[in-house]
Structure 1
């Protein structure tokens, strides 16, 4: 059973989301403040987190950062704040998607499913599919272990968000291939998700900070001007 941690202080919205996702065969645990959210996160190890930014006792961005420090769980932000700066800030902090209120339950469910579909977690749409195991292959100073969903830099693990790893995985499996921003966006979120291509640039910038010796002069993650990005050995 796929576990969703829903963090929402508006009880009517929380009830509506819980009922809708439960009907879609998710197990939903609800928290209405930051303290309860941290407790439920530790107790239930959720497969995906749906997080409202405005909470009575905590800043949602700080809570997102707290989750990201110890986990690569997909995080979907839901918020009435619809400014581009707010969305970019959330993505930079570690969120994987951002949905502005008001939203339809159908769209929320689609985005949740898209995040789970792109993760390594088994979801109801994948449970009967044959397992595919892909071994990692050493590539000089960077190694991507696809089974463990971990990037190693000089044999040291690098913490990444769900979306950062998905981008790196596609680079790793297709060295030298040029990906447009739209292609990367579709691969990490699914074509049913509404986010701007600017978010891909944010993830690339964060990846470079984590795996490049000099992020301003990247050796591996290259910009192809006017097209997108590629990964070089």
Structure 2
């Protein structure tokens, strides 16, 4: 049974999320503040985290950053704020998606299922090919293990969130093709996501920081002004 961690200080909302998830076959655990949520997230095994933005003790932004430093599981941010800057900031810290309160509980369950399915596709290794060499894409100092869901720069592993890896892999497997922000948004986040084109920009910038760094000359992801991005080789 898949297990979901709900970090939410509003007990009624937390119980609503719990009830709908458990009706749909999930096991859940609730944390009502940031400290407890962080403790559970880091010390127990969960398949996905529902993370409220406004929490006592530690807010959702801080939790997202600290959880993402050691966990790669999907993080779905739940927020009552509608300002895009908060959404972009959450995604920039490693959240995979967000949903705005008030929300339809059935839509929340659908999003949870969608992110779990996407995560499973990205992280699963075909049992029939376990003894064979992992699929590898190499561009100079960058190496992507497509089946193991790992990225290396100069032979050192660099941690990527689900969406960052999916976006990098899509661009790397379609080199020298220009994709608009809208096309990338539809391809990686899907038509039903709350994300907007600014989300693509945030993720591209985070990927660049990780594979290029301040002193690197890799420069693989090129901005084509007025058109979009391409993985240049």
TM-score after normalising by structure 2? 0.88
C-alpha contact (below 8 Å) 1:150/1:159 kept by paired residues: yes
Q: In 2, distance between residues paired with 1:132 and 1:172?
A: 25
Partner of 2:60: 60
The count of aligned residue pairs is: 228
SS in 1 for 2:139: coil
- 2:185 and 2:191 mapped to 1: Cα distance? 8
Does the 8 Å CA contact 1:115/1:189 hold for their aligned counterparts? no
Aligned to 2:150: 150
* Runs of 5+ consecutive residues of structure 2 not aligned to the other structure: none
The alignment yields a C-alpha RMSD, in angstroms, of 2.5
Residues 134-145 of structure 1 mapped to structure 2, 5 A cutoff: 135-145=135-145
Gaps of 5+ in 1: none
| Cα pair distance change 1:172/1:116, threshold 3 Å | same
Q: What is the CA–CA distance in structure 1 between the aligned matches of 2:69 and 2:171, rounded to whole Å? A: 24
- 1:69 is aligned to 69
SS at match of 2:68: helix
Shift of residue 132 of structure 1? 8.5
**Contact 2:221-2:232 at 8 Å conserved across structures:** yes
Question: d(CA) in 1 for partners of 2:156 and 2:66?
Answer: 22
- Which stretch of the first structure deviates more once superposed, 15-24 or 109-118? 109-118
Q: Which residue does 1:90 correspond to in 2? A: 90
Alignment-derived partner of residue 4 in structure 2: 4
1:167 and 2:128 aligned: no
TM-score (norm 1): 0.88
Indicate the residue corresponding to 1:79 in structure 2. Answer: 79
Distance 1:184 1:138 in 2: 22
Residue 213 of structure 1: how far off its partner (Å): 4.6
1:217: how far off?
Answer: 8.0
Tell whether the 8 Å contact from 1:208 to 1:215 is kept in structure 2 after alignment.
Answer: no
| 1:121 Cα offset (Å) | 6.3
The offset of 1:116, in angstroms, is 1.7
